[in-house]
Amino acid sequence: MDPLTHALSGAVLARALPREPIPAKYLWLLVGLAMLPDIDIVLKLVSDTFYLRHHRGVTHSLLMLPLWVWLIHTLIPGSRNRQPLMPWLIGSALLAHIFLDLITSFGTMIYAPFSDTRATLDLVFIIDPIFSALLLIPLLLILPLKKHARKIAVISFSLAIAYIALTAVYHQKSIELARKWQPNAEHVHAMPLPFSPFHWMLVAGYPDREERTAVNFIPGFAGTAPLFPAAMVRQFTAGTGTQESLNWQRFRPLRSLKNIDALPGIAFYRWFARFPVVLEESEDHLLLADLRFETLDLKREAFRLYIELGEKPRAWLIWRGEKRMELTDADAPPTSW
Provide the pairing of β-strand 199-206 with 285-290.
Answer: unpaired
How much is the pLDDT for 335? Answer: 44
8, with CB counted inside 10 A (0-12, 13-18, 19+), is: buried
Reported as type and span, the H/E element at residue 241 is none
How much is the pLDDT for 69? Answer: 95
Which residues of the chain carry a pLDDT beneath 50?
331, 334-337
Check: pTM over 0.85? Answer yes or no.
yes
Distance CA 237, CA 29 (A): 39
In degrees, rounded to 5, the angle at the alpha carbon of residue 74 between the alpha carbons of residues 72 and 77 is 100
How much is the pLDDT for 333? Answer: 54
Helix, strand, coil % in the chain, rounded to nearest 5: 45, 20, 35
How much is the pLDDT for 337? Answer: 36
Interacting residues of 237 by C-beta distance below 8 A, sequence separation 6+: 195, 199, 214, 216, 225
Q: Sheet holding 187-192: strands in order across?
A: 187-192, 199-206, 209-216, 249-253, 276-281, 285-290, 302-308, 314-320, 323-326
Contact 57, 32 (CB under 8 A): no
Distance CA 282, CA 304 (A): 16
Longest Cα–Cα distance of the chain, Å, equals 72
For residues 42-57, one letter each, b for 16 or more C-beta atoms within 10 angstroms of the residue's C-beta and e for the rest, the string is: ebeeeeebebbbbbbb
